[in-house]
Structure 1
Amino acid sequence: MAADGAEGRVRALPLSDEEVESRFRSVTLGQFLAELPSELLILHEGDLDARLRWVEPSELEDPTPYLMDGEFVLTAGLPLMADGGSADAIEAYVGRLAGARVCALGFGLTPYHDEVPPALAASCRRHGITLVEVPPSVPFAAIGLQFAQLLESDSAKVFRSLAETNRLLMRSVLSPRPDQEVLGTLVQRVPCWAVLVGADGKVRARAGANPADVVLLGPLLERLFQGSGPRVEVDSHPAPGSEFVVGHPLRSNRDVNLGALVIGSAERLAPAHNNIVSAAVGLLELLSRQRTSGSLAPSQLATALLLHPETLAGGTSRQVSAAKDLMAQSLSSTRSAPMRVVQGVNVDAPQWRSTDSPVRELLQWRRIFDTKLVEITEYGFAAVTRLKVDDSAVTEVERLGWRLVIGDPVEPNDLPAAYQRAGSLRVRARSTAQTLRVDSVTWSVTGLLGREAGTMLAGQVLGPLLELEPERREVLVDVLRAWLAHNGSWDATAKALTLHRNSVRRHIGTVFDLLSRDPNDAQTRADLLIALQYL
């Protein structure tokens, strides 16, 4: 928009990308003037980027009680005739318009005036109000109609854009990587960056230019995850494009945290853009709920394995491929991702009663381990997940009173063996009240037994010996331990204990008479060697 003095004519200029974007948000004064007939003259330019709310004809001396912010007032000049059209009266009139935040004044040349009073032009310049001369050939009604048509056209563009965006978002949901595709579509249609964070606080997907690091988002995410119900959290970062950072929680039907969508922008988003963000939040929340609450993949996988149990071990390539696809969908992972068996035992809270519904707990484990493959068992639960199960997940589980046995990464056909390996550590996890990892455990009989079971074994195997008087008991236990350590050698044991070999024979004979055991039986020696480690 431009003006060449008093003779400047309204003329349209090519719209820049920013101006096109502004059309998406609202109608500005400059956009409206560009649509008006060329007969209108701009006598003074104010803020052409100001939002235009409405066009209002008025011949009241003080129309401000009836005006909204950002209006274009049209007058034939009747209010200026008070006090004979004095400069003071004109100044007072324009001052009232400026106080009401009127963005433009259209002055009609008839029937009261043949030209725009110079005092009016000077006053509009002082107050920064755009002044437009309206010739008799352009009725005020035509100007109002033009604004209504432009507003309708702009709204139609917004609706078309929203419809197209929603179509793209829905297509993204059906893609192989729905989270990433939804974020990609979002940043294409909204001037922002986006980061999707899971319930574990880790990034699942990101899109856009220079998204904030998840560490910087920590305080905002903490507030989001601690709250409940529909809400947003707002923050700001000094990095370009992060002046306005907004976090949207993703919640389950039971108001359980499933993750968060965080977006950042250089300026506040327009209402139309916020509508797009809301649609994206809804779809991402739906995807998160599907991952934890329901899907067709687990039922298809279960049916396939029930009817064709040989599928994973010796099925055709087509069967194996189909099973891997279903398993990947159930685990929210790719086909090539390794998986782990996780078993949980309860140590701090009451066990579930048979009358209790396990649905809540089942959904809880699905959320924490990001999997649909969860089984409620007599000892607690078992899950198959593609997660490594890091410290944050372990901390959350232990806070609920549980301890885990976390299996090693395996391929699908090795899952039964992985389950057995994890199961062999359950007793130890419960007795020590510690979470264990299969690939970090020393595999020995004592390691697998654990303190509780080992102490019980020692009491059963060594019971009669332990009932002796302390001095007698200690002598016999020391001789037995040394004799077993030297593989039953009388001479080596005697030398190690500085005893005569006949004394060693006599002590060992006494021990095995007390225990009613055969010293030459290998199983007996193994039981005694293990039991002694728990005294």
Structure 2
Amino acid sequence: MAADTKGQRVRSLPLSNEEVESRFRSVTLAQFLAELPDELTILHDANLQARLRWVEPSELADPTPYLMDGEFVLTAGLPLLGEGGTADAIDAYVERLAGAKVCALGFGLTPYHHEVPPALAASCRRHGLTLVEVPPTVPFAAIGLQFAQLLESDSAKVFRQLAETNRMLMRSVLSPRPDQEVLGTLVQRVPCWAVLVGADGKVRARAGSNPADVVTLGPLLQRLFSGSGPRVELDSYPSPGSESVVGHPLRSTRDVNLGALVIGSAERLSPAHNNIVSSAVGLLELLSRQRTSGSLAPSQLATALLLHPETLATGTAREVSAAKDLLAQSLGSTRSAPMRVVQGVNVDAPQWRSSDSPVRELLQWRRIFDTKLVEITEYGFAAVTRLKVDDAAVAEAQRLGWRLVIGDPVELNSLPAAYQRVGALRARARATAETLRVDSVTWSVTGLLGREAGAMLAGQVLAPLLEPERQDALLDVLRGWLAQNGNWDATAKALGLHRNSVRRQIGVVAELLDRDLNDAQTRADLWIALQYSPPAP
């Protein structure tokens, strides 16, 4: 919009990136005027990008004692009647408004004036005050209501943007490089640069344009690391985009300095942006705690068993007791509760399987099984838990596309054997797409082999007998003969055949299979294979 253009109409304009960013922080006069009816006319444009704080109707000759800076004052011109209508009085009136940092003056036509006094327009140009003509068709109350609605919608937009930013920050934490991703998200949503420094003073990650180097940050970091409790340190550097620099400490639960996040910007950040920075500080602090002071028990347990794998088998009573204490802390339970090994296999496309980082999966299984002892494997995952793994946990895993094999309750020394028993049922769980419990399974070769592997075995071992013209007779005779442990008379009686007929057909089977049917291993292989090759209908 051109300045000092009589008759210029208020209209909506496409918002630039700068305007969108400013709207994220507060409402400008231009944004407000764009929402008003077209009947309003800008008589003088002093600064349409000025921040607008409120709309205030006033017919006082001097309303400034009751005004905040950045207000849009509305008047019907009552103070400009009589002696107040002289050029000097009008100029003094406008000068007072400009001195009070009024954002704009809206002059309403009727009932006192039918046009904007020329002296008022000249004075507004002289003192740099935006002047807007308000026709009789637009009540002052409607202008105030429109501003209230704009503030409300702008606040809702800010809350939506904050919620989306927080979701982005949470996704960043689950990435392979969480520190760098959190900083990248931060500078994407906040006009700043960011530097993450470890407790050793070395830069762990940086993002944004022209971030300060660690040498420049030295004095600020020294002040930050020498303090205690919740705090920030402020500074300013001559380079562009570093006029306002704020350092945030990353602290442990015992108030130990774990590092620092330093933010630099061209100007002080808005409250909404500071809210985003606070969220980032909290997440980076959590990551730092996890790397150092968080979840100590699993790391201690892993270190002890890696360096002394014989502890559980041949360790002293004190060493075994210490391992049990660490295990209990890792499982979030008492030492007396038995443990279960749980393995999971994927049968459907998991809803949240990550291709680049196991963090999300680990956190999910930790939550479901209430344990820190989770391993991501090539077949899925394995976990050690104190839970009985009830139907609710099973249903949640199955909803996510997984089937479980749930081990029987064991003590510490029996965990390896329990893991083997669970692993033996894994193929069957995948083949049947069913969740299995070790203590509810009938243990047999066929039960452990599973449908898929059994069908493959039958196809290989019995292939010569599966041709249609041979299947009915030969398979039935072989099945009956093996069931009677190779007894000719018992087989003939069971099948209703002559003894010699049984001998002849078994001979044909041995010839087709090219195997010695008197061999115990051969008989065992054939019997198992027959379990997966039922009689033809």
TM bracket (short chain):
0.5 to 0.7
Match of 1:222 in 2: 222
The residue type equivalent to 1:55 in the other structure is V
Residues in 2 aligned to 1:46 and 1:297: alpha-carbon distance in whole angstroms: 65
CA contact (8 A) 1:23 1:154 kept: yes
Residues in 2 aligned to 1:10 and 1:264: alpha-carbon distance in whole angstroms: 37
Residues in 1 aligned to 2:149 and 2:245: alpha-carbon distance in whole angstroms: 35
Match of 1:199 in 2: 199
How many Å apart are 1:242 and its aligned residue?
Answer: 2.0
TM-score (norm 2): 0.56
CA contact (8 A) 1:2 1:11 kept: no
Q: Deviations over 1:5-62 (max 9, x none)?
A: 2211112222211111111111011111111111000000111111100000111111
Match of 2:235 in 1: 235
Pairing 1:132–2:105 present:
no
Pairing 1:292–2:326 present:
no
How many Å apart are 1:249 and its aligned residue?
Answer: 0.9
Match of 2:369 in 1: none
Match of 1:512 in 2: none
Match of 2:378 in 1: none
1:105-504 equivalences in 2 (<5 Å): 105-295=105-295, 297-298=298-299, 301=302
Name the SS for the 2:6 alignment partner: helix
Q: CA RMSD in A?
A: 2.7
CA contact (8 A) 1:3 1:9 kept: no
Worse-superposed segment, 19-28 or 202-211: 202-211
Residue 158 and residue 309 in structure 1: after superposition, are their counterparts in 2 closer, same or farther (change >3 A)?
Answer: farther
How many Å apart are 1:257 and its aligned residue?
Answer: 1.0
Residues in 2 aligned to 1:289 and 1:67: alpha-carbon distance in whole angstroms: 49
Residues in 1 aligned to 2:97 and 2:241: alpha-carbon distance in whole angstroms: 36
CA contact (8 A) 1:45 1:131 kept: yes
Residues in 2 aligned to 1:61 and 1:213: alpha-carbon distance in whole angstroms: 56
The residue type equivalent to 1:248 in the other structure is H
Match of 1:62 in 2: 62
Match of 1:44 in 2: 44
The residue type equivalent to 2:284 in the other structure is L
The residue type equivalent to 1:129 in the other structure is L
Residues in 1 aligned to 2:3 and 2:137: alpha-carbon distance in whole angstroms: 20
Name the SS for the 1:201 alignment partner: coil
Match of 1:433 in 2: none
Residues in 1 aligned to 2:143 and 2:261: alpha-carbon distance in whole angstroms: 44
Match of 1:490 in 2: none
TM-score (norm 1): 0.56
Match of 1:27 in 2: 27
The residue type equivalent to 1:160 in the other structure is R
Residue 99 and residue 240 in structure 1: after superposition, are their counterparts in 2 closer, same or farther (change >3 A)?
Answer: closer
CA contact (8 A) 1:187 1:193 kept: yes
How many Å apart are 1:209 and its aligned residue?
Answer: 2.0
How many Å apart are 1:129 and its aligned residue?
Answer: 0.7
Match of 1:9 in 2: 9
Residues in 1 aligned to 2:113 and 2:310: alpha-carbon distance in whole angstroms: 95
Residues in 2 aligned to 1:84 and 1:96: alpha-carbon distance in whole angstroms: 13
How many Å apart are 1:276 and its aligned residue?
Answer: 0.6
1:510-529 equivalences in 2 (<5 Å): none
Residues in 1 aligned to 2:61 and 2:84: alpha-carbon distance in whole angstroms: 13
Q: Deviations over 1:406-460 (max 9, x none)?
A: xxxxxxxxxxxxxxxxxxxxxxxxxxxxxxxxxxxxxxxxxxxxxxxxxxxxxxx
Worse-superposed segment, 129-138 or 221-230: 221-230
The residue type equivalent to 1:256 in the other structure is V
Unaligned runs of 5+ in 2: 313-342, 344-357, 364-371, 373-537
How many Å apart are 1:247 and its aligned residue?
Answer: 0.9
The residue type equivalent to 1:86 in the other structure is T
CA contact (8 A) 2:235 2:246 kept: yes
Percent identity, please.
82
Residues in 2 aligned to 1:27 and 1:309: alpha-carbon distance in whole angstroms: 69
Q: Deviations over 1:195-226 (max 9, x none)?
A: 11111101111112222111111111111111
Q: Deviations over 1:323-374 (max 9, x none)?
A: xx99xx99xxxxxxxxxxxxxxxxxxxxxxxxxxxxxxxxxxxxxxxxxxxx
Residues in 2 aligned to 1:218 and 1:28: alpha-carbon distance in whole angstroms: 38
The residue type equivalent to 1:186 in the other structure is L
Residue 84 and residue 272 in structure 1: after superposition, are their counterparts in 2 closer, same or farther (change >3 A)?
Answer: closer
How many Å apart are 1:301 and its aligned residue?
Answer: 2.9
Residues in 1 aligned to 2:230 and 2:9: alpha-carbon distance in whole angstroms: 51
CA contact (8 A) 1:3 1:10 kept: no
Residues in 1 aligned to 2:109 and 2:199: alpha-carbon distance in whole angstroms: 67
Name the SS for the 2:264 alignment partner: strand
How many Å apart are 1:280 and its aligned residue?
Answer: 0.6
How many Å apart are 1:243 and its aligned residue?
Answer: 2.2
Name the SS for the 2:81 alignment partner: helix
Residue 7 and residue 260 in structure 1: after superposition, are their counterparts in 2 closer, same or farther (change >3 A)?
Answer: same
CA contact (8 A) 1:2 1:10 kept: no
CA contact (8 A) 2:251 2:257 kept: yes
Match of 1:74 in 2: 74
Residues in 2 aligned to 1:169 and 1:99: alpha-carbon distance in whole angstroms: 44
Residue 286 and residue 91 in structure 1: after superposition, are their counterparts in 2 closer, same or farther (change >3 A)?
Answer: same
Residue 84 and residue 168 in structure 1: after superposition, are their counterparts in 2 closer, same or farther (change >3 A)?
Answer: closer
Residue 110 and residue 286 in structure 1: after superposition, are their counterparts in 2 closer, same or farther (change >3 A)?
Answer: same
Residues in 2 aligned to 1:309 and 1:139: alpha-carbon distance in whole angstroms: 87
The residue type equivalent to 2:143 in the other structure is I
Q: Deviations over 1:438-484 (max 9, x none)?
A: xxxxxxxxxxxxxxxxxxxxxxxxxxxxxxxxxxxxxxxxxxxxxxx
Match of 1:341 in 2: none
